[in-house]
Structure 1
Amino acid sequence: FQAKVLRLLATTYFEWDCSLYLDKALKAISLANQENLHPAGFFLKVKILLKSGASDEDINSALAEFTHLEMSLDFCLNTAKLLLEHGRESVGFDFLKSVPERFESSPDLGKITLLHIEFLLQNKRELLAKQKIEEVIIGHYTGKQLLPEALNQLHIILWDRAAKHYEEKSYSEALHWYNYSVSFYTPGQIDQNLAKLQRNMASCYLHLKQVDKAKEAVKQAERCDPNSIFTKFSVYKIAVLENDPEKAIEAVIEMGKLAEKPSEHEDKLRVDKNTGSNLLSLAAQIALENDQQIVAIKALEYLSEHLQDCRQLFASLKCLVRLMLSKVMAENAEKRDADINSILTYLNLAHKKLAESFTEEKFTGDMRILEAHWFRKVAWNLAVQFKDSPEKMRDFFVLSFKLSQFCPSDKAVLIAQKTCLLMAAAVDLEMGRQQVTPSEQTELFSQALQHLQTCKEIWKVLKLTGDFAKDPTDTLLLLYEFEARSKLNDPALHNLMESVWEQPQIEIKTLEIIASLAMESPARYPVLCKKALKSALNLHRKQTVIDAVKFSKCLHSLINISLPTGLTDLDTCVLQEVWDYFEDALSVVSSTDAYPEMEILWLMTRAWNTGIFQYTVGKYKEAEQWCGLGMRFLSHLGSLKKSYE
């Protein structure tokens, strides 16, 4: 008990103020040890002597006092560590060398060797450490194996030393240390750690330009751990260096699959949720550095699927868009389709991630706006660039609109949105006019209508920002909506046209287009067509100087719709109405020499034929009147007059 109290007293002096109470601490521990020799007293005395700066001789004397004391192996090792950590190499190593004699029968003798190796390396005595390691390797194959725990510890020491040399770019020296580790594995052994070891060695060989040795090392890694993403990455690096794009892409695909679901057996210390993304990012970088664009694209595609960080994801998508664009520009038109679809996929992913980015705190609103502007402008430029492919152009315009919804609604953005939707609607209508099935037509016209409805809302807001008096948007919206609704046989068409008839400033050209669209298949609205043409004709009449050519075309269309060819049983009211149109024509023909002669001939022929039709059904008086009407046009013919007289 007295010895224990004295040890506590010595500890108190030592920890309170060693410089002031060193002598008292040393005296107290000496008295304690005289009273009762105990390992704790021995250890404390060594600590106090080291702190006091005692000579090696004094420390050796203290160690000698305890030569016959019963102490555990770990206690001896801790004493050796204490000495070596205080720079007493001579005393420490001598003490360490004496320890094996005391524990000859202990299975833990390997701990002494490990400590010896560690301190040799710490003190930069690498050559001696190598000698010691080589002794352990020889012992491993001559019946003096380390215990598994000690062997694992030795592997860690060897790998740490190899990694240090690798960082210093001493790749040959790193290989030397890795080879020490390999020496402890038997040929054909399957072990995940051996796979890692072989991958590390492959990296060293690649830096030393020893590709064949690197390939052999990776082959061994595949044998030990074929389902590791790190192994696939090693395969990938060699494929890129050997300019084997097919094998590189195959490895990237495998990496992508493994990134989705990391192996349960993968090293938990090295594989986290970002490992797959980091390796795919590195894979893309390696491919670009080696001018392998197709391989880089594949790596970036998988990377963009797995990235969680918004900034990294958008950087990856931008890189993909640029790479794929340069590829598309260099390709024949026949090969472009798949790659253009890929760009659409990238932009759709950008839109999806922008929508999801509101939940990510680190991704600020300003960042979102900047990214949205970049992608919407790219989509716009691509829409313009691929104008020869209507469907692609439409898709890019729609995407540009969707992406612009993440931008502030200033005037420039609103104009861009309006234009995107107008163009998308125009393309849908054009595609609907082509030879497609009725169901496809319905889908296209319905899509166009949706775009137009959204566009109208944007246009309302945009008109509040300035003067758009000369802007044709109102007219385009009207014509596009009319076409879509008429071809869908939409009941809402009637309400739309009621608002049109009420417009005081509607243009002649607009009415003529409406008339044409009203009879364009699958639409058929003869009443609407006539009404539009009559309105247009009235406007022609009100012109200060009538444009005879335009007037003649409008009148031609109105007569055609009012007096279908081949019909003989016509209502008297209809005939009277058409008669008035012919009278209108005569009035204009009489007042100008600009009326096209072929149109005069057509009017004459049409009136004459109508008379003949009346004659065939026994309406002789009407026949005479219509034939007489036709004859009145004859005098207005020019060079053709003689042929018909």
Structure 2
Amino acid sequence: MHRADVEKSLFKVLSYQAESAVAQGDFQKAVMCMQRCKDMLMKLPKETCYLAVLCYNFGVETYEWKKYEQKFKSFVFVYMFTCGYFFCFQAKVLRLLATTYFEWDCSLYLDKALKAISLANQVVMFSLAEFTRLEMSLDSCLNIAKLLLEHGRESVGFDFLKSVPERFESSPDLGKITLLHIEFLLQNKRELLAKQKIEEVIIGHYTGKQLLPEALNQLHIILWDRKSYSEALHWYNYSVSFYTPGQIDQNLAKLQRNMASCYLHLNQVDKAKEAVKQAERCDPTSIFTKFSVYKIACSIYKPCFNSFQSDQQIVAIKALEYLSEHLKDCRQLFAALKRVSNHLFTSRLLYMGKILITFSYFWCQLSQFCPSDKAVLIAQKTCLLMAAAVDLEMGRQNVTPSEQTELFSQALQHLQTCKEIWKVLKLTGDFAKDPTDTLLLLYEFEARSKLNDPTLHNLMESVWEQPQIEIKTLEIIASLAMESPARYPVLCKKALKSALNLHRKQAVIDAVKFSKCLHSLINISLPTGLTDLDSCVLQEVWDYFEDALSVVSSTDAYPETEILWLMTRAWNTGIFQYTVGKYKEAELWCGLGMRFLNHLGSLKKSYEGHVSVPGGI
């Protein structure tokens, strides 16, 4: 075996013995082992780092045990080993050594603690000086400064930042150093120093030392990211200083919008209006600029919105009516209405009668502001649909019959105008996926059915002929046909039949939807409690039961509760026939019910006894 290998093995054995001795509290033996290891470092220089870390760990362990004297010895060893090599590690050791002196006996070792701290700072500054002598990029220097500042070494970090510009005086990215300096000054609540730095940048901006565009944008972001409104305005004014009078820039528009928002929060409406005017000059088409204009309008007509928020709806309605009559800017009116409608939706006030009447009027009036091109025709169509929807919703509430008639008639007027616009729109492009046709049909059907309009059947004749009508649309029509004050059982039945036929034509029948549709159709065709039914009606209903039985037999997805309902209706129909002496018909219907019994799952045993004796279920 080579002598070098023997010495390396001996070094390991001694270090292990030192670890064992520390664990057993035998610090004298540990120091002896570490001293022997230190003497071997001349032949094993690569082990210096390992031995330093080992001693440092011994110091931390003894510190936790409050063995300050032993910790001191360990740190002395560490400092000796690392001298001239590991600057950052030396500083860390010295700082912990200072902590040990303070906790050991502050009055006795105060001078030594201060010397340790001073020495640690010198080590760090020396290491930073070493960095500055190296050929390093600007980004590397900035990263070093960030690490120092982010880990609480503000003093060293700021000193290092001050030294960096000397090395990169000719660099176009010199502004990055300034940005980092300003950012960390603000983060550390040194606003006065930050303001001085910003003022230096502003002076440089107008004396030929301008920041690069990217750096200038980043500076704007730093200045804008302030929380207090009054304080934010102070920083925004610094940001404005970088723009020349009359300059048009989207970022300047954004800055002016932010300033307007701050002024509004501080109730300085006139200054907010001026800021918004500047934003409009720079970026008039921006949706954010328009929203700022709207906020100014809201602040001017604030009583209206305060009334809504304090549940004083009557006052708010009057304010909105006044707005609609006197506000000349239709954009502001539309924005105001949109905000209030959102507030109503969120506060569940949409169904309040007088408000809805006002909204119907507003939507209709707004449709008149739209000039005749495709985009605004779509907007006009939407306004009219909204007006009709509001009228219908209002008509569903507890209002008098005369008010209902007026509302439904008004809805028809809006729908007629909307249909004319829609005809023009459909000539301008493909609207295959647009739901307007369906909405117009449903809205018109509801209005005419509740007005008992004689032209309703003519309207529906065109509906039955439509090849692409959806099942959902037919089911809604069926529901509306029986919704008070309307009552059109024939139309309801026809719509449900059409929907059922479409269900049958599906490649895969949706058993749940099919069962609901069939349930409604049987209910409307076979009213509960009637015994004297026409044979034609019974035959028609019998066919529906046969349809249901066919689907039930072909799938396991048919809801068991619906199967039970079908069985019960068939059995009870048989019992009704039995009570009026129609025994043959009774036998057929009860037998039909028994056929459904066979398809019941968990409920079958419970109902077998019920259908074995003559009586209703």
Q: TM-score under structure 1 normalisation? A: 0.40
- 1:405-431, CA deviations, whole angstroms, 9 ceiling, x for partnerless residues? 344211111111111111111121122
How many residue pairs end up in the alignment? 498
CA distance in 2 between partners of 1:215 and 1:535 (Å): 60
Say if 1:114 and 1:150, in contact at 8 Å, map to a contact too. Answer: yes
Say if 1:281 and 1:300, in contact at 8 Å, map to a contact too. Answer: no
Say if 1:195 and 1:221, in contact at 8 Å, map to a contact too. Answer: yes
Question: 2:185 is matched with which residue?
Answer: 120
Q: Return 5+ residue gaps in structure 2 as ranges.
A: 1-88, 346-354, 360-364, 609-617
Say if 1:372 and 1:404, in contact at 8 Å, map to a contact too. Answer: no
Judge which range, 23-32 or 147-156, deviates more: 23-32
CA distance in 2 between partners of 1:24 and 1:135 (Å): 42
> Alpha-carbon deviation of 1:235?
32
Identity of aligned residues (%): 93
Say if 1:611 and 1:624, in contact at 8 Å, map to a contact too. Answer: yes
Relative to 1, partners in 2 of residues 1:529 and 1:614: Cα closer, same or farther, differing over 3 Å? Answer: same
Relative to 1, partners in 2 of residues 1:621 and 1:170: Cα closer, same or farther, differing over 3 Å? Answer: closer
> Alpha-carbon deviation of 1:433?
1.4
- 1:483-541, CA deviations, whole angstroms, 9 ceiling, x for partnerless residues? 11011000110110010011011111111111111111111111111111111111111
SS of the aligned residue for 1:104 comes to: coil
CA distance in 2 between partners of 1:26 and 1:385 (Å): 78
Q: Runs ≥4 in structure 1, deviation > 6 angstroms? A: 1-34, 62-161, 169-238, 280-318, 370-375, 382-386
> Alpha-carbon deviation of 1:453?
0.7
SS of the aligned residue for 1:17 comes to: helix
SS of the aligned residue for 2:182 comes to: helix
Relative to 1, partners in 2 of residues 1:613 and 1:385: Cα closer, same or farther, differing over 3 Å? Answer: same
CA distance in 2 between partners of 1:70 and 1:4 (Å): 26
Say if 1:429 and 1:444, in contact at 8 Å, map to a contact too. Answer: yes
Say if 1:284 and 1:296, in contact at 8 Å, map to a contact too. Answer: yes
CA distance in 1 between partners of 2:524 and 2:438 (Å): 24
- 1:461-501, CA deviations, whole angstroms, 9 ceiling, x for partnerless residues? 11111111001110111011001101100011011001001
CA distance in 1 between partners of 2:235 and 2:130 (Å): 40
Relative to 1, partners in 2 of residues 1:412 and 1:170: Cα closer, same or farther, differing over 3 Å? Answer: closer
Say if 1:110 and 1:146, in contact at 8 Å, map to a contact too. Answer: yes
Pick aligned residue for 1:310 from 330, 351, 355: 330
Q: Does 1:218 align with 2:303?
A: no
Equivalence map 1:556-575=2 (5 Å): 556-575=519-538
Query: CA RMSD, aligned part only?
Result: 25.6
Say if 1:519 and 1:525, in contact at 8 Å, map to a contact too. Answer: yes
Relative to 1, partners in 2 of residues 1:217 and 1:294: Cα closer, same or farther, differing over 3 Å? Answer: farther
Judge which range, 12-21 or 295-304, deviates more: 12-21
Say if 2:165 and 2:174, in contact at 8 Å, map to a contact too. Answer: yes
SS of the aligned residue for 2:132 comes to: coil
Say if 2:552 and 2:599, in contact at 8 Å, map to a contact too. Answer: yes
CA distance in 1 between partners of 2:188 and 2:173 (Å): 24
Judge which range, 195-204 or 599-608, deviates more: 195-204
CA distance in 2 between partners of 1:12 and 1:546 (Å): 81
Q: TM-score under structure 2 normalisation? A: 0.42
> Alpha-carbon deviation of 1:210?
25
Relative to 1, partners in 2 of residues 1:296 and 1:138: Cα closer, same or farther, differing over 3 Å? Answer: farther
Relative to 1, partners in 2 of residues 1:127 and 1:30: Cα closer, same or farther, differing over 3 Å? Answer: closer
> Alpha-carbon deviation of 1:170?
40
Say if 1:508 and 1:540, in contact at 8 Å, map to a contact too. Answer: yes
> Alpha-carbon deviation of 1:403?
3.9
CA distance in 2 between partners of 1:594 and 1:2 (Å): 76
Say if 1:303 and 1:316, in contact at 8 Å, map to a contact too. Answer: no
Say if 1:182 and 1:194, in contact at 8 Å, map to a contact too. Answer: yes
Equivalence map 1:140-219=2 (5 Å): none
**Of the two, which has the highest radius of gyration?**
1
> Alpha-carbon deviation of 1:554?
0.5
SS of the aligned residue for 1:66 comes to: helix
Say if 2:370 and 2:379, in contact at 8 Å, map to a contact too. Answer: no
CA distance in 2 between partners of 1:559 and 1:33 (Å): 92
- 1:564-621, CA deviations, whole angstroms, 9 ceiling, x for partnerless residues? 0011110000000000000000000000000000000000000000011111111111
CA distance in 2 between partners of 1:548 and 1:524 (Å): 28
Relative to 1, partners in 2 of residues 1:412 and 1:577: Cα closer, same or farther, differing over 3 Å? Answer: same
Relative to 1, partners in 2 of residues 1:30 and 1:197: Cα closer, same or farther, differing over 3 Å? Answer: closer
Equivalence map 1:72-471=2 (5 Å): 402-471=365-434
- 1:48-107, CA deviations, whole angstroms, 9 ceiling, x for partnerless residues? xxxxxxxxxxxxxx9999999999999999999999999999999999999999999999
CA distance in 1 between partners of 2:557 and 2:92 (Å): 131
Relative to 1, partners in 2 of residues 1:15 and 1:306: Cα closer, same or farther, differing over 3 Å? Answer: farther
Relative to 1, partners in 2 of residues 1:20 and 1:87: Cα closer, same or farther, differing over 3 Å? Answer: farther
Judge which range, 402-411 or 449-458, deviates more: 402-411
Relative to 1, partners in 2 of residues 1:303 and 1:83: Cα closer, same or farther, differing over 3 Å? Answer: farther
CA distance in 1 between partners of 2:422 and 2:213 (Å): 77
Relative to 1, partners in 2 of residues 1:137 and 1:315: Cα closer, same or farther, differing over 3 Å? Answer: closer
Q: Return 5+ residue gaps in structure 1 as ranges.
A: 35-61, 162-168, 239-279, 319-369, 376-381, 387-401
Pick aligned residue for 1:629 from 587, 592, 614: 592
> Alpha-carbon deviation of 1:432?
1.2
CA distance in 2 between partners of 1:12 and 1:589 (Å): 85
Say if 2:327 and 2:333, in contact at 8 Å, map to a contact too. Answer: yes
Relative to 1, partners in 2 of residues 1:581 and 1:173: Cα closer, same or farther, differing over 3 Å? Answer: closer
Relative to 1, partners in 2 of residues 1:611 and 1:417: Cα closer, same or farther, differing over 3 Å? Answer: same
CA distance in 1 between partners of 2:433 and 2:201 (Å): 92
CA distance in 2 between partners of 1:9 and 1:600 (Å): 84
Judge which range, 305-314 or 192-201, deviates more: 192-201
Relative to 1, partners in 2 of residues 1:156 and 1:22: Cα closer, same or farther, differing over 3 Å? Answer: farther
